[in-house]
């Protein structure tokens, strides 16, 4: 029960969620303000009449579904972090959910992190789309995440921890020189390292005797798959000489021969 645990029941949540019909029309806020308290910043934040005027400051906010466009201005204003916005039209499979967020570290766009339910349990990975955190918001950031549609009623918070999504081929060795697996490469891309040079320096991929001749294209392919950038837009970074390994002794002998000529 809400009174005992602070966690709303599925019935509580249904009572504040917009209708399916309204959800399918586009972005709208969901206000999980379950108790009467003297508080109205959500009402004063909105310029569109998205919250019905309060008759008494203790009133619970009521969303005017036709006025609200889910812009999210009220999300950062609610001291109870009770408001989120949901856009079910974001894509065929995912909804865009805007959540208030007051912890550190801040997530960064592109990260795939943990989506949590109202009890703090990890439910499903979510992708960070946008982080709004201006000075005027006074450290209540609004984080937009893409959430699989079936999870929309469950996801209410995030944890900025890369999600280990195990894939069947994670153990495949991409770099035989330095023993780097596909899973390690994917982990770095998920953390936001999306150039070959960055991944090379943190994992040693491409630093061994093959000098990225074998592993390079495989890493680029993975970056392309995970970021959606085309292969043509990706580069292997600076190529270093010599093209093939040379013994220091051979170079030294050649230098002596050259000088005696």
Partner 1 sequence: MMKTADVVIIGGGISGCATAYFLAKKGVKNVLLIEKGYLASGSTGRCGAGIRQQWGTELNCMISKHSCDFFETANEELEYDGDIEFKQGGYLLVTSTDKEHEQFIKNIEVQNRMGIHSKLLTLEEAKEIVPFLNTDGLISAAFHQKDGHLNPFHTTQAFADAAKRLGATIMTHTEVTGIDVENGKIRGVRTNKGDVATAVVLNAAGGYSQKIAQMAGVDLPVYSERHQILVTEPIEEILGPMVMSFSLNIYCQQVPHGGIIMGRGDENEPRDLRTTSSWQFLEEMALCATKLLPPLRNAKVLRQWAGLYNMSPDRQPIYGPVEEVEGFYVAAGFSGHGFMFGPSTGLIMSEYILGEKLTLPVETLTLSRIKQNKLVFEPSVV
Considering only 102, 119, 164, 254, the residue that binds partner 1 (CB under 8 A) is 254
CB 205 within 8 A of CB 215: yes
Bridge partners of 29, per DSSP, are 85
Label residue 110 exposed, middle or buried (CB < 10 Å: 0-12, 13-18, 19+): middle
**Cβ neighbours of residue 189 closer than 8 Å, sequence gap 6 or more:** 199, 222, 223, 226, 227
Q: Which is nearer to partner 1, 166 or 240 (CB)?
A: 240
Segment contacting partner 1 by CB under 8 A, of 47-55, 76-84, 167-175, 200-208? 200-208
Considering only 4, 11, 92, 104, the residue that binds partner 1 (CB under 8 A) is 104
Residue 29 is classified by DSSP as E
Residue 164 C-beta: closest distance to partner 1, Å? 13
Residue 220 C-beta: closest distance to partner 1, Å? 16
Residue 11 C-beta: closest distance to partner 1, Å? 38
Spatial distance between the Cα atoms of 235 and 153, rounded to a whole number of angstroms: 41
Residue 118 C-beta: closest distance to partner 1, Å? 25
Q: Which is nearer to partner 1, 37 or 106 (CB)?
A: 106
Q: Mark 9-48 with x for binding to partner 1 (rule: CB under 8 A) and - for no binding.
A: ----------------------------------------
Spatial distance between the Cα atoms of 30 and 205, rounded to a whole number of angstroms: 46
Which among 126, 96, 26 is positioned nearest to 68, based on CA atoms? Answer: 26
Please, what is the angle between helix 196-203 and helix 215-227, to 10°?
Answer: 120
Q: Determine, following the binding rule CB under 8 A, whether residue 202 of this chain makes contact with partner 1.
A: yes
Spatial distance between the Cα atoms of 214 and 46, rounded to a whole number of angstroms: 56
Q: Which is nearer to partner 1, 14 or 138 (CB)?
A: 138
* Footprint of partner 1 (CB under 8 A): 104-106, 133-135, 178, 193, 195, 197-198, 201-202, 204, 207-209, 211, 238, 240-242, 245-249, 251-252, 254-256, 258
């Amino acid at each position: 029960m809400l009174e005992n645990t602070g966690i709303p029941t599925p019935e509580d949540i249904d009572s504040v969620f917009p209708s399916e019909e309204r959800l399918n029309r586009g972005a709208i806020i969901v206000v999980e303000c379950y108790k009467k308290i003297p508080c109205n910043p959500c009402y004063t934040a909105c310029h569109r009449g998205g919250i019905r005027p309060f008759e008494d400051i203790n009133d619970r906010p009521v969303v005017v579904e036709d006025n609200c466009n889910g812009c999210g201005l009220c999300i950062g204003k609610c001291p109870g972090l009770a408001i989120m916005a949901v856009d079910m039209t974001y894509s065929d499979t995912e909804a865009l959910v805007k959540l208030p967020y007051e912890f550190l570290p801040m997530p960064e766009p592109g990260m795939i992190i943990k989506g949590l339910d109202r009890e703090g349990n990890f439910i499903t990975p979510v992708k960070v789309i946008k982080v709004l955190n201006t000075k005027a918001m006074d450290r209540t950031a609004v984080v937009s995440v893409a959430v699989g549609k079936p999870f929309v009623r469950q996801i209410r918070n995030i944890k900025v921890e890369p999600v280990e999504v195990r894939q069947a081929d994670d153990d495949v060795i991409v770099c035989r020189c330095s023993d780097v697996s596909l899973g390690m490469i994917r982990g770095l891309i998920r953390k936001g390292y999306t150039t070959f040079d960055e991944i090379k320096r943190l994992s040693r991929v491409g630093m061994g005797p093959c000098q990225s001749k074998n592993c390079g294209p495989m890493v680029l392919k993975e970056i392309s798959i995970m970021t959606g950038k085309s292969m043509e837009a990706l580069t292997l970074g600076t190529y270093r000489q010599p093209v093939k390994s040379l013994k220091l002794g051979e170079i030294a002998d050649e230098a002596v021969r050259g000088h005696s000529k």
